[in-house]
Amino acid sequence: MATMKELEYELKRIKERNKRVEADKAWETSFFRKALITIATYLTMVVFLVLINAPNPWLNGAVPAGAFALSTLTLPPLKKWWIRNAYKGKE
C-alpha cells in the first residue's frame, strides 16, 4: 500500500503533467502559432515559385497560405459538430 508521501509525490507529478499538457494545448490552438505557420507557408511557397520561375509568385504563394489559414477557422467548429454527432446516444 502506498504511503502518504508516495501519494503526494504522485499527485505532484500528475499536476506537473497537467500543466505541460495545458501549455501544449494552448500552443496548438494559439493565434500566434497559426499566424507563424501561415507566414512560413507563404514564404516557402514564394521561394519555391521563384525557383521554378512560376508567374506571379508573390500572389500565387498566398493560395496555400490562405488555405491553411481558412482551415484553422473552419476546422474547430466542424470538429465540435462531429464530436457532438459522432457520440450522440453513445453515452
* DSSP letter for each residue of 17-83: HHHHHHHHHHHHT-HHHHHHHHHHHHHHHHHHHHHTT-S-HHHHTHHHHHHHHHHHHHHHHHHHHHH
50, pLDDT greater than 90: yes
Separation of alpha carbons 39 and 60, rounded Å:
14
19 assigned to some structural domain: no
Q: Picking from 40-44, 59-63, 80-84, which range would have the lowest pLDDT averaged per residue? A: 80-84
Please give the average per-residue pLDDT across 63-77, as a whole number: 90
89, pLDDT greater than 70: no
Separation of alpha carbons 86 and 18, rounded Å:
27
Please give the average per-residue pLDDT across 49-58, as a whole number: 97
Number of domains in the chain: 1
18 assigned to some structural domain: no
pTM of this structure: 0.72
62, pLDDT greater than 90: yes
11 assigned to some structural domain: no
Please give the average per-residue pLDDT across 52-74, as a whole number: 94
Q: Decide if 65 contacts 42 (C-beta within 8 A).
A: yes
22 assigned to some structural domain: no
Q: Picking from 8-12, 57-61, 66-70, 78-82, which range would have the lowest pLDDT averaged per residue? A: 78-82
Range of the domain at 37: 30-91
CA distances 81 to 67, 72, 75, 78, 88, Å, are: 21, 15, 10, 5, 11
Please give the average per-residue pLDDT across 13-41, as a whole number: 95
